[in-house]
Each structure stands twice: as structure tokens, then as C-alpha cells.
Amino acid sequence: MSKIIDITDKLNFEEKPIIKVKDVEIKANNDAVTMLKVIALFDNDGKGMSVKNILDIYNLLFDEENQQKIDSLKLSFEDFSTLVVNAAQAVINDNEEPEGETTTPATT
């Protein structure tokens, strides 16, 4: 009989990343299938993100309850786009948006 290796205790099924805007906490979907779909929507030709892709990412990342929280913020289009794109990048990278400038490690 084959050996069974149970890795259940190493997986995280419960925690969803939380995006905070002012005092509003918004849970984002981070399951693998959703993340693959979100990654596919990022524009690779350098022309920027289309409105359709922003809306698609919004619908993939946030369930109805969390969409209502976002809608209640009454964000401008620019702020809405920033929220959706930055949230997607943070969830994909599994961390918060880095603050300040990025540094390049020195090599010798």
C-alpha cells in the first residue's frame, strides 16, 4: 500500500488577507484558482490596465459583502482602480504593499 503523507496542518484554509482603507477592513479571496485568473488579467504589453480587467479583478477578489464595503467608501475612479490593482498585487505577493523606495542589494 502507498504511503500517505498528510500536509493538512501546513495549509491555511481559514485566513483571508485583509485590505484596510481608513477604518474599513475588506477581506480578499486568495485561493489559487482566483489568483491564477487575476494574474492572467494583468496587462503585459505596458499599455496599462483596462477598465474591464479592473472590474474583473474586483469581482474575483471581493465577494458581495466586501464589494458593498468598498462601494460604501464612495471612491473616485482613480482611487477605486488603485485599491483593486494594489490589493491584487499585495494578495498575489502575499504581503502588504511595500512602503518607500525599493532597494537593490549590492553585489560584490
Q: What angle do CA 15, 9, 90 make, to 5 degrees?
A: 30
In the chain, the N- to C-terminal Cα span, in Å, equals 52
Q: Domain span at residue 58? A: 27-93
Residue 5: inside a domain, yes or no? no
pLDDT digits over 86-103, tens only? 998 888 887 444 454 545
Residue 9: inside a domain, yes or no? no
pTM: 0.73
Question: Whose grid coordinates read 479571496?
Answer: 29
Give me the amino acid identity at 4: I
Residue 74: inside a domain, yes or no? yes
DSSP E strand stretches across 1-108? 18-21, 24-27
Q: Total structural domains in the chain?
A: 1
pLDDT digits over 61-89, tens only? 999 999 999 999 999 999 999 999 999 88
Residue 12: inside a domain, yes or no? no
**76 CB-near residues (< 8 Å, 6+ apart):** none
